[in-house]
Amino acid sequence: MEQYMMNLTLKVWRQKNSADRGGFETYPVKNISSEMSFLEMIDVLNEELIIQGKDPIAFDHDCREGICGMCSMYINGRPHGPWQANTVCQLHMRAYQNGDTIVVEPWRANAFPVIKDLVVDRSAFDRIIQAGGYISVNTGNAVDANAVPVEKDKADAAFAAASCIGCGACVAACKNSSALLFVSAKVSHLALLPQGGPERKTRALNMVAQMDKEGFGSCTNTGACEAVCPKEISIENIARLNREYMMAGAASAK
């Protein structure tokens, strides 16, 4: 693919802290290569801001390989930008044309308060996972891979659910800021495997309770979460979580 250079206009949300009202600031960026990643483009802008004695734009990043889920931001109103099944760090500037204006914002959800600029506090997800607890399996020497038989269909579904990176795009896309796609993926990948059996009921009850405590909204099955998920987590997991939750509730009521 042929490389080309472009000049762009960025409108970036700047916010000093969670108490600050915040607002958009406009920045011209010049001579940007089409083969740069979106985060590399922000790095170039930040270098210019530092040279000018200005505060660089704060944004989350870590692996820059589409694994960690840290690079969470709206780009022109879509979580993670225009490409399907993609994180911001995997988005390249060839997705844009010379002269384009790009609007960049942080996630918008009460459960994800803004820390600074494009950085939000996603520790609510960590607390939901912690509420799920551990699984009761013996540790020690590694066992043979076929020691615990698992049906291939269930193994494949569990693996697909486990691919969730907890970026929060599902929450950002949902009109109710629901975290059900995330929670259902975390519940599903253990509910489908025999190793997750002993804590199966308490896991579903505790994780849903923590989700509600964190202030996430309810699900209305619009499918917006699945549409923007960088790992294409299926909303079938939400149906599975609903079944797990109802069965666990019925069992605890006995």
pLDDT tens string 16-71? 999 999 999 999 999 999 999 999 999 999 999 999 999 999 999 999 999 999 99
Q: Are 11 and 76 spatial neighbours (Cβ–Cβ below 8 Å)? A: no
38 and 111 in one domain? yes
Tokens coding 131: 């509420």
Q: What three-state secondary structure class fits 29?
A: strand
Last residue of a domain, one of 62, 95, 115: 115
- DSSP letter string, 12-73: EEE-SSTTS--EEEEEEEEEEETTSBHHHHHHHHHHHHHHTTPPPPP---S-SSSSS-----
240 and 162 in one domain? yes
Identify any residues that bridge with 179 across adjacent strands, giving them in sequence order. Answer: none
222 and 101 in one domain? no
pLDDT at 145 over 80: no
Q: Are 246 and 205 spatial neighbours (Cβ–Cβ below 8 Å)? A: no
Last residue of a domain, one of 115, 148, 177: 115
pLDDT at 1 over 80: no
What distance lies between CA 172 and its chain's CA centroid? 9
Work out the percent of the chain whose per-residue pLDDT is above 90: 90
147 and 198 in one domain? yes
The predicted model gives 86-104 an average pLDDT of 97
97 and 57 in one domain? yes
- In this prediction, residue 241 carries a pLDDT of 97
Looking up residue 162, the CATH number of its domain turns out to be 1.10.1060.10
CA separation for the pair 219, 210 (Å, rounded): 15
Predicted model pTM: 0.93
131 and 108 in one domain? no
Residue keyed to tokens 């922000």: 42
Split into its structural domains, the chain has a count of 2
127 and 216 in one domain? yes
Looking up residue 85, the CATH number of its domain turns out to be 3.10.20.30
Last residue of a domain, one of 115, 143, 166: 115
234 and 197 in one domain? yes
221 and 147 in one domain? yes
191 and 87 in one domain? no
- Containing structural domain, residue 90: 5-115
pLDDT at 101 over 70: yes
150 and 244 in one domain? yes
